[in-house]
Amino acid sequence: MSRARRRSAPPPPHRSVLAGFLSLLGELLITLGLVLGLFVAYSLWWTNVLADRQASARGDEVRQRWQTPAPAASTPDRPGALDTQDGIGFLHVPAMKNGEVLVKTGTDPEVLNDGVAGYYTEPVKSALPWDDKGNFALAAHRDGHGAKFHNIDKVKNGDAIVFETKDTWYVYKVFADLRQTSKYNVDVINPVPKESGRTAPGRFITLTTCTPVYTSKYRYVVWGELVRTEKVDAKRTPPAELR
């Protein structure tokens, strides 16, 4: 091409200010999407990993303590009084397919975030399984931090809920659920949870968690009633419901 022809060629077009802004905006949105994706992965996966490790370690400690002879001043007929800080026992709900769940005192985030279930101490105080009457009311996360109650919607009437202490298996049978209620509805954990259909005192268990999944807008509730207890044998043979 001749020098004259090169001189007559038009200059390359300049990008407009709007085009530059849109390009920058697109890059920022992509970056934001990556950050949000990492946050979701952390919240829904990595917190589960950390919580499961923590809960497993605490659970091992509780079982090792159970194998140690109790001090003379302890009360073996009330196993929960021995280690309420580290865990009073293990919850087993076969329908949830979540293995054993360590149960500790309280339902504050710093308790539940360790991948455990906690029993209520407020606004209504939970009974404990060995009490003559009352409602053993528990809460756990449905997503993140172990997500121990993630599959609560799989639990149906007639299913078993088993609570394991140092010396006793407490076997409950599910009889009712409430798939959505206000998170401020504390009546569901009353000693006699009338929304379950029961009107007289008994020995109940209540499982509560957030719903819908990945939100905390409402509460999902499952109720069971004690049907029997079994003494733990030397081999810790589980009841038939867990075999």
Residues 6+ apart with CB under 8 A from 106: 118, 119, 120, 121
| Residues annotated catalytic, as ranges | 210
C-alpha to C-alpha distance for 5 and 58, rounded to whole angstroms:
82
Q: What is the pLDDT of residue 2?
A: 47
Residue found under tokens 């455990």 = 116
Q: What is the pLDDT of residue 48?
A: 81
Tens of pLDDT along 105-151?
A: 999 999 999 999 999 999 999 999 999 999 999 999 999 989 999 99
Residue 9 tokens read as 């060629």
Q: Which residues of the chain have pLDDT under 50?
A: 1-2, 4, 38-39, 42, 72-77, 79-83
Burial class, 109, CB count within 10 angstroms (exposed 0-12 / middle 13-18 / buried 19+): exposed
Q: What per-residue string of b and e applies to 206-216 under the rule 16 or more CB within 10 Å gives b?
A: bbbbbbeeeee
208 neighbors 193 (Cβ within 8 angstroms) = no
Strands (E) across 157-217 are located at: 160-164, 168-182, 203-211
